[in-house]
Structure 1
Amino acid sequence: MRTYVLGDIHGQIDQLRRAHALIADDQAQAEEDAPIVHLGDLTDRGPASAEVVEYLRRGPVSGGRWITIRGNHDFMFRLFLDDPLARDPGLNPAYTWLHDRLGGRETLESYGVEVPDDRALADIWAEARARVPVAHRVFLDNLPLLHRTDQAVFVHAGIRPGVPLVAQAPTDLMWIRKGWLDDDSDHGLLVVHGHTALEEPAHYGNRVNLDAGAGYGRPLVPALIDGRDVWLLTEAGRVPLRPGDALG
């Protein structure tokens, strides 16, 4: 089964639209409407998280369905809206979602919430609750943690090696790095993920990392997965991504 897939978006609406345009061009040439999987982290760091959430919430006008996976940044945003003092168990306790490194401020500002350093947290939270549409909260609440096909599984951060998919902990699916990024075992399925930003997508044989750093201003690179074969989509067309390869 063919599947188009995008890595972490991080509030970059222009990059998201550009990536979808590349996918639409490829779909037109292939004359096939395959689903599009978004690997999570819709929000934070970039300037237009609210627009990204609304764009993906509305879904495709035509063509294959869209599947949007929950990322750790999406979960932290949603957690803040329920309780600004709640702690995501995957987050370093030295940080909060509003720390400059996380990008929560930019997300709230995209909804029109002012977040100066001297503003009381309770006031920020109250305005966020008023400005973030209920429809956005419901959309984020219902994002799945993974999507699988016969030969691939799509997840935000990765999987805990040796643990069946049905027993994977949500915190691992959204946060895992240690014990995962250095694991070269065969997981049965090709694992397609984001979360750990690279300079460009990379294929490691047992997994593919498509987080090319859109949250840090780099391009969002869409890919086509056909079985375990991977192609990156560029303005020049498809570029195969094989084990050991990276774009460029």
Structure 2
Amino acid sequence: MRVYAIGDVHGRLDLLVAMHRRIAAEIHQARPADWRVIHLGDYVDRGPDSKSVVDFLIEIRKRDPRYLMLAGNHDIGFLDFLEAPDPDGLFIRYGGIQTAQSYGVVINEGGNAWFGRSEAALRQGHAALVEAVPKSHVDFLRSLPFSLTFGDFFFCHAGIRPGIALEMQSMQDLIWIRDVFHNHSGLHPKIVVHGHTPVPEPEVMVNRVNIDTLAWQSGNLTALVVDGADKRILLVSGEKA
């Protein structure tokens, strides 16, 4: 089975579409016996077109179940905000303003953080966003698993806690962990393919592969291709933010 894993998208529909076109062309040309395309989470926030990214993923998963999507911390943060508007939460502080704008809702004009605004204004923006986000988007985000395994590879958004069995990893670690995971030099039960922590170039280590190349800002979206013994990096580039 050939497996493609795509790093953090963060509202960059242009790069996601370009990556899918490139992958589709490869599959059409090589005609592997079977294949999967795994998205490692963080579809929303920061970039300009989170709504259309979610629309695209819903449609492509409906068309072919071999397209798989995992949950990222920003996707869960979006759901958390829709449940309860927290002025200090991930959504408001780290790119959710742009997500709201993609749904036609202005929560905070003239800034990137919620600062000096009234609780009433926050609740008004929250109510407008709840009204604007289709139920299909909420259902899609709620449906996302936190990890997948294929062969010798374990796929998740952020990483794993060393020393804990893969099937026992906590949801919190799978979408949030950083230093404890990054600093571990020993082997894991499987090679962990992840995003979450931006790097200028893909990190291909003995025990893990990081393919979050800060697509929303750098204009570079990265994927890892695993095809038997062949492992390589795909890159699509567009405009920088």
**Under a length normalisation based on structure 1, what TM-score does the superposition of the two structures give?**
0.85
Alignment of 1:74-223 (within 5 A): 74-85=75-86, 96-99=90-93, 102-116=94-108, 118=117, 120-223=121-224
Q: Are 1:3 and 2:3 an aligned pair?
A: yes
Deviation at 1:63, TM superposition (A): 6.1
Deviation at 1:234, TM superposition (A): 4.7
Taking the aligned partners of 1:24 and 1:182, their CA distance within structure 2 comes to: 35
More divergent stretch after superposition (115-124 vs 23-32) = 115-124
Count of residue correspondences:
226
1:15-42 alpha-carbon deviations (Å, 9 max, x no partner): 0001111111211221125110000000
Taking the aligned partners of 2:206 and 2:128, their CA distance within structure 1 comes to: 46
Deviation at 1:128, TM superposition (A): 0.7
1:33-72 alpha-carbon deviations (Å, 9 max, x no partner): 5110000000000000000011001125866711100000
Q: Give 2:45's aligned amino acid.
A: D
> Secondary structure of the residue that 1:97 maps to in structure 2?
helix
Taking the aligned partners of 1:29 and 1:166, their CA distance within structure 2 comes to: 36
Runs of 4+ in 1 over 3 A off after TM superposition: 60-64
Taking the aligned partners of 1:70 and 1:227, their CA distance within structure 2 comes to: 26
> Secondary structure of the residue that 2:11 maps to in structure 1?
coil
**Under a length normalisation based on structure 2, what TM-score does the superposition of the two structures give?**
0.88
Aligned to 1:239: none
Q: Which has the higher helix share?
A: 2
**Which 5+ residue runs of structure 1 have no aligned equivalent?**
87-93, 236-248
Taking the aligned partners of 1:217 and 1:106, their CA distance within structure 2 comes to: 17
Taking the aligned partners of 1:195 and 1:227, their CA distance within structure 2 comes to: 26
> Secondary structure of the residue that 1:98 maps to in structure 2?
helix
Aligned to 1:22: 22
